[in-house]
Amino acid sequence: MNTLSLAWRNLLRNRRRSITTLLAMIVGANAVLLFGGYSRNITYGLQTDYVKYGGHLQIQREGYYRYGSGNPAAYGLAQYREIIAAIQQDPVLKPLVLVATPTLQLQGIAGNFGAGVSRTALGLGVVVEDQNRMRAWNGYDFPVQVPQMALTGTGPETAVLGTGLARVLQLCGPLKLLDCKAAAAQPAGPAKAQADLPADIADLGKLANGAEPAPQASAAAIEMLAATAQGAPNVARLQVVKAEEQGVKEFDDVYVGLHLAQAQQLVFGKEAAKATAIVLQLQHTDQIPAAKARLQQLLAERFPQEPVEVLDFSALNPFYGQALAMFATLFGFVALLIAAIVLFTVGNTMSMAVIERTVEIGTLRAMGLRRARLRRLFMQEGLLLGIVGAVLGVSIAASLAGLINHSGLTWTPPGRSPVPLIIRVWGETGLIAGTTVGLILVAALSAWLPSLRAARQNIVDALRHV
C-alpha cells in the first residue's frame, strides 16, 4: 500500500505529463470502443434482417440447401404440417419458438405476354400472417419498424415482384416505378394482349382454372410458368399488387413473392402439397443451440422417415459470416494500432520519469530500497495510468455513444433505406471488459522496461547524476 500511495503521488507530482498521457489513452479507448460499438450494431442489424425474413432456424430435407433449390418437388417436406404441430406441442420448444411457418421456393418463368416480355424468376410461397409476425421481431431494440407484407389481405392469386423484375416485365406504369426505360409502343386493347399470349400457355391457364382466365381489371398482371412434380408445365395468372426493392440486385431481378397455397398449386397441382422449408423464429438468438439440439432429437424420434437437417441463419446466409470476419479484422487492426500508440506514449512517459528521478532513485537505493520494490514502484505507476485512462475512456465513450444515439443522425447501409446511426457501447460487457483489460495490460507492459532500467542503476552513478 505504501508503494501504491507513493506511485500515485509521483503521478500527481508531474501533472502535465500525466494528463497528456491520459489523454492519449482516453482517445485510444474511445476509438476502440466507438468503432467496436459501431461494428457491433452492424452485426446486430444484419442478424435482425436475416431473422425477420428467414428465421433463426430452418428445417429442410437433407441435401436441399446444396442440391435441391431447382427441384422443390423432390426435396419437399411431405409431413411439414405434422412437424410444425409437434414443435408447437413440445414442452421444450414451445417457450422458445415464436413462429413456425412453412415456405416453398420454386423456379419458373414470369411473363408479361401482353408486352411480349418474360424472364426466369424465383418464386417464394409464404403464409402471409406468419411472415407479418416474424417481421415484428426486434431482439436488439432497433428504432425501426418493418411494414407488413404487401400481400396482407389479398386474395390467393396475387403476387409481389422485385423492382428489377417489374422493370424487365414493363410494369413500371401500373406499379408507379421510377427510373424506367420507356417501352416500345404497343397496340392497345385486350385483343392484342390475348394474341400475344402463347397458345400453349393460354391452354394451360384454362386447365389450371377450369376455364379461360377473365381479363384483369388492372394491367399489373403476370403469368407464372413452372414445372409440376411430374415435370409438366403449369401456369398461373397473378395480379401484381406491388413492386418492392429486395436489396440485392441479383435477387431483385428474379423475385416473385406469392401465397403458399398458390405456389403449391403451381408445383404440385392436385397432388399432396409439400414445403421446401419450415422456418422457426425464436425468442432470442442465444437460444439457437438449445433449440437446435432439441429439434434434432425430436425429428429423429418422431419423424425418422423424413431425412431432414436443421440449419441456422448463419449457415443459410454465408455473407453474414463473411461480414463478421471482415469487421473482426478491421477491429483487430484498429485495436492493435491503438495499443502501439499507447505502448509508446506510456513508455516515453515512464522513461522520462526515470531520467528525471535518477538522483531520487539513487537515494532510495542508498536507504535500502530493494531493486524488486523499485521495479514495482514504476510498474504501479504505469498500472495506475492504465486504470485511470481505461475508466475515463470507457465513461467518455459511453457518453459520446449516448449523444450520437440520440442525435437523430442516420446512415444508409448497402441495399437499404436510411436507418438511425447507433453506437452500442453501454451494455456490451465483453467489448468494455476487453478494452479495459487490454489498456491496463498495455500500460503496465509499457512501464516494464523503464522499471528494469531504473532498478539496474548503480547507486553511486545515480547519486552524482546532474
State the amino acid at position 353 in one-letter form.
Answer: A
Mark the ranges of the chain whose per-residue pLDDT is less than 70: 1-3, 6, 181-219, 357, 361, 414-417, 455, 461-462, 464-466
48 with 412: CB under 8 angstroms?
no
State the amino acid at position 345 in one-letter form.
Answer: T
State the residue for C-alpha cell 416500345.
Answer: 184
325 with 79: CB under 8 angstroms?
no
User: What percent of the chain is predicted at pLDDT more than 90?
Assistant: 39
pLDDT of residue 219: 62
Nearest CA to 415 out of 188, 250, 305, 208 is that of: 250
pLDDT of residue 350: 79
Question: Whats the size of the chain, residue-wise?
Answer: 466
- Give the Å distances, CA to CA, from 133 to 136, 281, 399, 438: 5, 10, 35, 42
pLDDT of residue 199: 59
d(CA 172, CA 47): 32
d(CA 296, CA 349): 59
pLDDT of residue 237: 92
Phi, psi (5° rounding) for residue 312? -90, 170
State the residue for C-alpha cell 479495459.
Answer: 436
107 with 120: CB under 8 angstroms?
yes
Supply the mean pLDDT for the chain. 83
The residues, ordered by sequence, that sit 6+ positions from 195 with a Cβ below 8 Å of its Cβ are none
Helix (H) or strand (E) holding 312: strand 308-312
d(CA 36, CA 439): 15
Helix (H) or strand (E) holding 105: strand 97-112
User: pTM score > 0.75 for this model?
Assistant: yes
Quote the Cα angle for 43-44-50, to 5°: 95
295 with 87: CB under 8 angstroms?
yes
Our measurement of the distance from residue 143's CA atom to the centroid of its chain's CA atoms, rounded to an integer in Å, reads 16
Helix (H) or strand (E) holding 259: strand 255-259
For residue 146, the 8-state DSSP code is: P
pLDDT of residue 459: 74
Q: Which residues pair with 311 in a beta bridge?
A: 58
Nearest CA to 150 out of 85, 227, 246, 25 is that of: 246
**Number of Cβ atoms within 10 Å of the Cβ of 21:** 26
252 with 162: CB under 8 angstroms?
yes
The residues, ordered by sequence, that sit 6+ positions from 258 with a Cβ below 8 Å of its Cβ are 123, 124, 125, 126, 151, 158, 159, 160, 224, 238
Encode burial over 91-103: b for 16+ CB neighbours within 10 A, e otherwise. Answer: eebeebbbbbbbb
pLDDT tens-digit map of 4-50: 776 777 777 777 888 888 888 899 899 999 999 999 988 898 899 89
Quote the Cα angle for 141-143-146, to 5°: 100
Radius of gyration, alpha carbons of the chain: 33
d(CA 47, CA 53): 10
d(CA 25, CA 27): 5
